A and B are shown apart, each in its own frame.
Chain A
Amino acid sequence: MMMHWLNHQSQAFQSVLARMRQNIAATLMICLVIGVTMCLPSLFYLGLDGLSKLSNHLHQETEISVFLKLEASKNTVDEIDALLAKNSQIQAYHFVGKDEAWQQLKSKANNTANEVINQLEKNPLPDAFFIQAKSTDPEALEALRSELQNTPGVAQALLNADWAKRLASLLSLSKMLIIFISLLLAIVLLVIIGNTIRMQILTQKEEIEVSYLIGATHRFIRTPFLYAGLLYGLFGALLAILMMTGMVLAFNYAIASLSHLYNSDFQLPLMHSKLYLTLICTAMFIGLAGAYFAVTRTLEKIVKAQTSL
Chain B
Amino acid sequence: MIQLDQVTKRYPSSDEVLKNVSLHIEAGELIYVTGHSGAGKSTLLKLIAATERPSSGTVLIANQNTSQLKPSAIPFLRRRFGLIFQDHKLLYDRNCFENVILPLHINGITGLEAAKRVRAALDKVGLLHKEKAMPITLSGGEQQRLAIARAVVSRPSILIADEPTGNLDASYAAEIMSIFHAFHQVGVTVIMATHDALSQHGAQNRVLHLTQGRLTEHKAQGLT
Seen from chain A, the residues whose Cβ lies within 8 Å of a Cβ on chain B are: 4, 7-8, 11, 206-207, 209-218, 220, 306-309
Contact = CB atoms under 8 A, between A and B. Distances in A.
B63 interface: no
Contacts of B52: 307-309
A216 B12 contact: no
A309 B108 CA distance: 28
Interface of B: 11-12, 49, 51-53, 72, 75-79, 81, 83, 85, 89, 91, 93, 102-103, 105-108, 110, 150-151
Given A8-B108, A11-B110, A308 B78 contact: no
Contacts of B81: 214-215
B106 A220 contact: yes
A215 B106 contact: yes
B76 A215 contact: yes
A308 B105 contact: no
Contacts of B89: 206, 209-210, 213
Contacts of B77: 215
Contacts of B108: 4, 7-8
SS of A interface (majority): helix
Nearest to B108: A4
A214 B91 contact: no
A19 to B, nearest CB: 11
Contact of B78 (A11, A207, A209, A213): A213
Contacts of B75: 212, 215-218, 220
A213 B106 CA distance: 11
B110 A211 contact: no
Contact of A207 (B11, B91, B103): B91
Given A207-B91, A215-B79, A308-B12, A11 B102 contact: no
A7 B110 contact: yes
A158 B107 CA distance: 79
A211 to B, nearest CB: 6
A68 B59 CA distance: 101
Contact of B106 (A4, A206, A214): A214
A11 B91 contact: no
B143 to A, nearest CB: 14
A308 B105 CA distance: 27
A209 B77 CA distance: 16
Given A11-B105, A210-B102, A213-B51, 17 more contacts: A206-B91, A210-B91, A211-B106, A213-B83, A214-B79, A214-B83, A215-B76, A215-B78, A215-B107, A216-B75, A216-B106, A217-B75, A217-B76, A220-B75, A306-B51, A307-B51, A307-B52
A277 to B, nearest CB: 34
A4 B110 CA distance: 10
